[in-house]
Amino acid sequence: MKKFFLTALLGASLIANSSFAMTKPVKLVDQGSFFAGGTVIQSDGNYNPTDPKDFSGQTLHGDHAYVFYQIPVKAKKYPLVFLHGSGQSGKTWETTPDGRDGFQNIFLERGYATYIIDQPRRGRAGRSTLPENISARPDDQLWYYNFRIGIYPDVYDGVNFPRDKSSADQFLRQMTPNTGAFNQKIIADAMVAVFEKSGEGILITHSAGGGPGWETAIRSDKVKAVISLEPGTFPFPEGEVPPAEETTSPFPARGQSVSRADFLKLIKIPIVVYFGDNIPSGDKPVANWGQDNWRVRLNLALKWAQVAKKYGGDVEIVYLPDIGITGSTHFMMSDLNNLEIADVIETWLKSKKLI
Amino acid sequence: MKKFFLTALLGASLIANSSFAMTKPVKLVDQGSFFAGGTVIQSDGNYNPTDPKDFSGQTLHGDHAYVFYQIPVKAKKYPLVFLHGSGQSGKTWETTPDGRDGFQNIFLERGYATYIIDQPRRGRAGRSTLPENISARPDDQLWYYNFRIGIYPDVYDGVNFPRDKSSADQFLRQMTPNTGAFNQKIIADAMVAVFEKSGEGILITHSAGGGPGWETAIRSDKVKAVISLEPGTFPFPEGEVPPAEETTSPFPARGQSVSRADFLKLIKIPIVVYFGDNIPSGDKPVANWGQDNWRVRLNLALKWAQVAKKYGGDVEIVYLPDIGITGSTHFMMSDLNNLEIADVIETWLKSKKLI
């Protein structure tokens, strides 16, 4: 907290100049980046190098993920693999909008190797095999509301989001468009390939990263646990998908249907799911659609946990206010109390003997 | 070289698992990311939070750069600020396609702070104030040819590009589309803001990053030198822009016109420009348009240096084969001999007392 107030007082220009923004120095034995997964498409005809206007027979390498990894000295057993959510890139996990350590630095400082992903058709993994129209329609306020920060430019009472204008500005610039349609299978394909490179690890997903994250855990035996922050959806065994609840949100919360065998594959690893604050309870839609969007998702999570437990799964749904942590937004990894959230996650990892 | 052959022999899966891909461990005192520059647009009308289909009055924060910075212990005086070229992102400077250290790691290991940019409307800085249609037209071979690697899938004799298929695959996946039209002024605006955060530093540009790079150096007194790798264009004082040479390339090499005052601002700092191999000389177009594209740019560079020297500029154009370095592609920062290129750059920095 102290750091945040300092930043707010002294202005944003100091953020990058601070020589000790990291809580403590980190000795890296490796860092780098690579692309994982993806495919190649080719136009008809034969490649003709002599005519730059003739694109016959040329290829496009696309639909891969971009991965930036860092390995500190004496790294813990399992690396953490971070998959962002809707409209975001790997930036989600980096420096917070008010210039504090994000999960990338926090966990690196605690001795974890980190793998930060840009999913296929997003960010530095922008090369898509499908065309896309980007509208540039202003929609900051839609996301601000849906991310449960408040009603722009206001914030909800007690919410763990910085109050200064520069931080809100940085936060909104994290949005970056799809450069091709969202495709869960393509993202999961790439994530399976990421785990082939990282080796056995812990998958941490956020929001719309939840769906591809579950599919990745089903398909890769390298995923040893999933930590999911407000995932958008959940997979259920065929025939057990609950009906979608009515909501005032434009984004319905539908469960996904997977084979029972796949469902059992998923729930044989430990799974924990966290939801933040300002999520109404009950089965009645509320007028605030940005909050109602998460009411139906939290309800879906609870139904999913029931089914998972019925089949013997070691799964946990944590509504943070229930454990005394209030004010969390949809972006708990960059909230003012993100160190506290990291503690909660690390305590869970320890309890599952994953570190 | 040894590392590359090892990688090729053992397969790509080892790249990220290697615990010592970095030549030596690096102790970081800080790392993080932020957005620099950019603007805000707003739709007409008043924001209505209750209707998610009503986008009236909403804003879009766009046209910023994305910056990832790292500061090693006892960092040298000036950070290095890296601006990529056409169709690329900050990935240009990271791990090479065959899994060796790129300039990001090489210079970090040598004690430089690094700032790696995604220019506005590219990569993680994808949020644009203008709409864009992304065609997904296959054009890998066009770039491969224009980057002077060879005629796909072949490589030119002796070229410093890895021969294995996996490396070519990784290289082509570095391409990532514009999410809004290229705009030199917007990129320079953002780069000036980057230097406000980094403080005084050395600007290293590549290819299409050259144009915005020169403009940045003109507008920011924080830029203490420019190192430009095969820039696409050069600024000349008004009335002294040479006519564009005839070329078989579809990308003409036109000089840019700036005021004499601005030109003098630029050339008061030391500047060095490097060009790789397989660039024909002379004033006659050659049939290989991928090579001819760089013939006219090298010629433009030489004309620019003459003008700069006439006005007292400390500028140097280096055609690498002239100093005994052969086989360089357009991507000398990730070529097989990129350590040698880094040495050349560091020797220049030393000679200018910039380290």
* Residue pLDDT, tens place only, B158-194: 999 999 999 999 999 999 999 999 999 999 999 999 9
Question: How many whole angstroms separate alpha carbon B233 and alpha carbon B211?
Answer: 6
Tokens standing for A110?
């605690």
Statement: residue B7 has pLDDT above 70: no
The beta-carbon neighbor of A19 closest among B71, B137, B197 is B71
Q: How far is A161 from chain B (nearest CA, A)?
A: 17
Q: How far is B313 from chain A (nearest CA, A)?
A: 31
CATH class name, domain A21-351: alpha beta
Residues present in chain B in total: 355
Tokens standing for B159?
């070229």
Per CATH, which fold does B23-351 belong to? Answer: Rossmann fold (3.40.50)
Tokens standing for B37?
């520059």
What does DSSP say about strands B59-72 and A80-83: parallel, antiparallel, or unpaired?
unpaired
Contact call for A127 and B175, based on CB within 8 A: yes
Q: Answer yes or no: is the ipTM higher than 0.85.
A: yes
What DSSP letter does each residue of B156-194 carry, written as one string? Answer: -TT-SS--SHHHHHHHHHT----SS---HHHHHHHHHHH
Task: Quote the pLDDT of residue A2.
Answer: 35
Contact call for B133 and A130, based on CB within 8 A: no
Amino acid at A266: L
Q: What is the mean pLDDT of residues B269-282?
A: 98
Contacts 24+ apart (CB under 8 A), A252-258: A252/A296, A253/A293, A253/A296, A253/A297, A253/A299, A253/A300, A255/A300, A255/A303, A255/A304, A256/A211, A256/A214, A258/A218
Question: How many whole angstroms separate alpha carbon B160 and alpha carbon B298?
Answer: 20
Burial of A323 (0-12, 13-18, 19+ CB in 10 A): exposed
Q: Is B207 left (phi over 0), alpha (psi -120 to 50) or beta?
A: left
The beta-carbon neighbor of A49 closest among B66, B141, B176 is B141
**Residues A266-288: pLDDT tens digits?**
999 999 999 999 999 999 999 99
Task: Quote the pLDDT of residue B8.
Answer: 37
CB B90 within 8 A of CB A32: no
Q: How far is A316 from chain B (nearest CA, A)?
A: 31
Task: Quote the pLDDT of residue B24.
Answer: 86
Task: Quote the pLDDT of residue B132.
Answer: 98
Please, what is the Cα angle at A61 between A56 and A65, to 5 degrees? 160
The beta-carbon neighbor of A131 closest among B21, B135, B197 is B135
Q: What is the mean pLDDT of residues A166-171?
A: 98
A–B interface: beta-carbon pairs under 8 A:
287
**Residues B83-122: pLDDT tens digits?**
999 999 999 999 999 999 999 999 999 999 999 999 999 9
Q: Is A346 left (phi over 0), alpha (psi -120 to 50) or beta?
A: alpha
Contact call for B130 and A136, based on CB within 8 A: yes
Ordered by start, the domain boundaries in chain B are 23-351
Q: From A69, which residue of chain B is nearest by alpha-carbon distance?
A: B16
Q: Hey, of A15, A44, A61, which one would you mutate to test binding to chain B, going by the most B CBs within 10 A of its CB?
A: A61
Q: Mean pLDDT, chain A, as a whole number?
A: 94
Residue B301 CA to its chain's centroid (Å) = 16
What DSSP letter does each residue of A186-225 carry, written as one string? Answer: HHHHHHHHHHHHH-SEEEEEEGGGHHHHHHHHHH-TTEEE
Contact call for B124 and A89, based on CB within 8 A: yes
- Closest by alpha carbon to A213, among A196, A234, A239, A240? A234
Q: How far apart are the first and last CA of chain A?
A: 27
The pair phi, psi for residue A183, each rounded to 5°, is: -145, 105
- The per-residue b/e assignment along A58-76, b for 16 or more CB within 10 angstroms, e otherwise, is bbbbbbbbbbbbbbbeebb
